[in-house]
Structures are given as C-alpha cells and as structure tokens.
Structure 1
Amino acid sequence: MDTEPCWSVAETELFARQGLPFGSDEKALVIGKSLPAAADAMAKAFDEPGGGTEIADELLRLVTEVVTAKAEAMPGARELVELTAAAVPVAVASNSPRALLDAALARGGLSEMFPVKLAADEVTAPKPDPEMYLTACRLLDVEPADALAFEDSMTGLRSARTAGMPVIGVPTLKHQDFPADVVIGSLRDEELLAWVSGWPRR
C-alpha cells in the first residue's frame, strides 16, 4: 500500500500546528519509522521533551483517517502479490501498528492475500531491529537467507539486512542512495514481473 503520502498529510498537519514547514528534510526524520519512533523524532523537532506519546496518539488518529479515505495500492502491487503468492508463501511485515495495517490492507483489497500479517505493536522491537523480519520468516517456516524483502525506506532496509535477507528496494525518497540488492522504480518493473512469473507455481 502506498501509505507514505497519507503519513505525509498527517505529519504536515502536525508540523503546521507548530508553525513549522514540512519538507524533504523533515520527512527524512520520520519515514519508515515505527509510530513511537516517528513521534519521538517529531517531539524533538517541536522542542517538546516527553511529548512523544501525545504526538503519537494524534498522529495515529490523523493518518488512520487519511488511509481509510484515500490510500491506494502501489501500482502493480496486486499483480505482484498474486504472482508471488502462487509460487511461495508471502507475508506483510509492517512498521505500522495493527489497526493502521488492517485499515490499509482493507482499503486496498489486499487483506485476504497475505496468510501472515505482522505489525509493529506485535513485536518487542520494530524496524530497524530485525525482529519483525525474523518473526515473519519463522511464521512462514523459511530461512531469512531464502526469503526476499521488498522495502521502500532505509529503516526497513536496515531491518531486513540485519535479519540476513536479500532486499529489493522501491524507495519512496527517490533522491537518496538506497543500497538494496536490486533497486526498481515501480512494482510494475517488467524484469521483476518476468522473473516472478517464471517461478514454479505451487
């Protein structure tokens, strides 16, 4: 799901309430982080020590409203998931809390496509810690080195790398260096789809 624009709407609103702009530098402070980590980064930017919990509550409320109303699947996402799920077990390992993850997948009609769905508030340490990916691999009964992660943020990339997984990057921030094993501009990448289509079907 392309939820990052939804997060940006909510984040822009909270920065505006402080009389602060929200641009690429501010986005880089929060992108890919768990809700508590993003809220703590915002509290620091707002010079509000200890304000992370209150900011997290409001940020979650705002972003859930936007996701429920406007979030869209990334171009090519449904086709890629369908092709992949026909060949290998698939999972979602999201740094969003469960309520937001469910809202996003429901909005995109993807809820039933993933037998394993893991959210940030269901692990001890969210991304960039490797726990989320290690747990997802365990639930899929696959070794991390034999799995493949798709990531759009540096936070997620670090998590997958530390878990020992190869990574295909679809970076949200196009200008940044993104050291994944393969970087693509879209989930509609023709070489990617041809490769997945060639896997033996289950």
Structure 2
Amino acid sequence: MTTSDRHLLDWSPDAVVFDCDGTLMDSERHWQEARHRAFLEYGLQPPPGFTEQALGLHYEDCGRLMAQSVHKPELAQDLTAALLDHFLALVIDDPVTMPGAVPLVRLLSGRLPLAVASNCPRVVVEGSLERAGLLAHFQHLVVPDTGDRVRPKPHPDVYTVAARLCGVAPHRALAVEDSLTGVEAARRAGLRILGVGPRPKGDGATRADVWLPTLDAPELLAWAHALDGPRGRHGS
C-alpha cells in the first residue's frame, strides 16, 4: 500500500458516491454481451480492442462508437437502440452484485449519505439495485438527463449533482469507480476517488487516490468499520 493509499484510508468523507455498473453490480459482462448481440443483429463484428474502448461509456455514446468503429455512422441510432434492448433483457434476468458490494454498502448505510452516479438509464439502476436489495440504502440516484442538462461521464455532472444532493462539498465526498471514464468524471468534479476492480493498464490507475482489487478488500472494510456514525442525513 502506498503513502497515498494510507492517506485516503485515514480520511473520513462526508458522503460516498458509487458508480453502479462494474462497481456495485456485475453488469459489465451484460453490456459486453449486449454489444455483441447488437453487432450480430446487423451482421457486424466488433473490431479488436472494442471492449476496452467501450468500458464505462454512456450507452448512447457507446452506440455511436459502435457505428463509427465499423465505419457505418448511419447505423448509430439503430445500434444504440439494439444495445439498450439487449442489455435490459440480460440485466433483468440476471442481476448480480460485485464481490463485497453488499456488505460495504450496508456498513456505510446510516453512517454517511450515500448516492449512486451512473451512466445507465434510471430504470436499469433502480431495477438492478432493487433486486439486489441495495436500493433502500441510497438517498440519491443521479443519471444523465438532457432535460436537467446532466451530461454523462466523463463529464463531471453526475458527480457534481450527487455531491450537491448529499449536501456536501465535492472535495468532502468519496467516489467509488471501476472505469477510467468514471474516474475522470469524479476527478473533474473534485471528489476523491477509490478505484476498484482489475487495475487498468498503464498509469491510468494513478488518476484515482487508491486502487483496490475488490470492495471486500480487508483494508477497505476495516476503514468502513472505523468510520464515525451515524452521520446526519440530508433530505432528498
């Protein structure tokens, strides 16, 4: 563990904001399968390396990237619609939490305001968290919304709004993310960042304050146990 890691796990935030896909819910495999099915629906094959390029993207951005990657920009809307349809069918049938997600959220619940900041449609976030028994622990869910001018990650909007709804300054909130797209959004919003999951290639992980393999890492659970609580919750 580095000095930076120790500093983060010695710190007590005033709120925690979780990403959903790949952080709380094991749904990235569903997105991968949905992309595969959407490509096949139009007789296409994803180019090499596409999975890494698509990680963490909003589904509309992913649909556009899919069309661009096979040099068929005219199919952007069709591929986007097919992607979302296939994903919804998959995630509703098989919602699975990431290792450590349930115990960590339950440990933090009641001690700190908790929020979710996701690039997924609200129906997906609410439905998957509800089926996993986690929805009631979160005071706020923030997703991209053109009406409210909340842009998807890597824009900072979902994290900026989540911190505001929790009633805390961004630098007093902790973001929990699994993708570099999400890390960039949280960094731009001014939150401190815990990266979780497979460590990104290259130096991408250094953009987070600390990167741990899973949410049930012993040092993370020890940190959660040691937090003062309960904290005052802010109304929605």
State TM-score, norm by structure 1.
Answer: 0.93
Residues 1:123 and 1:196: Cα distance change in structure 2 (over 3 Å): farther
Distance in 2 between the 1:149 and 1:102 partners?
19
1:137 equivalent in structure 2 = 163
2:20 equivalent in structure 1 = none
2:45 equivalent in structure 1 = 20
Amino acid at match of 1:65: A
Runs of 4+ in 1 over 6 A off after TM superposition: none
Q: Does 1:186 align with 2:214?
A: yes
- Structure 1 unaligned regions, length at least 5: none
> Residues 68 and 104 of structure 1 are in contact (CA less than 8 Å); yes or no, is this contact kept in structure 2?
yes
- Structure 2 unaligned regions, length at least 5: 1-24, 231-236
What do residues 157-182 of structure 1 show as CA deviations (whole Å, max 9, x unaligned)?
Answer: 00000001110001456545422111
Aligned length: 201
- Identity value in percent: 34
Amino acid at match of 2:69: A
Residues 1:162 and 1:28: Cα distance change in structure 2 (over 3 Å): same
State TM-score, norm by structure 2.
Answer: 0.80
- Give 1 or 2: higher helix fraction: 1
> Residues 46 and 70 of structure 2 are in contact (CA less than 8 Å); yes or no, is this contact kept in structure 1?
no
1:147 equivalent in structure 2 = 173
Amino acid at match of 1:92: V
Distance in 2 between the 1:200 and 1:173 partners?
30
What do residues 75-99 of structure 1 show as CA deviations (whole Å, max 9, x unaligned)?
Answer: 1111101111221100000110112
Distance in 2 between the 1:148 and 1:27 partners?
27
Amino acid at match of 2:219: E
2:78 equivalent in structure 1 = 54
2:66 equivalent in structure 1 = 42
Residues 1:167 and 1:40: Cα distance change in structure 2 (over 3 Å): same
3-state secondary structure, aligned to 1:57: helix
Q: How much has 1:16 moved relative to structure 2? A: 3.3
Distance in 2 between the 1:94 and 1:20 partners?
27
Residues 1:87 and 1:171: Cα distance change in structure 2 (over 3 Å): same
> Residues 39 and 56 of structure 1 are in contact (CA less than 8 Å); yes or no, is this contact kept in structure 2?
yes
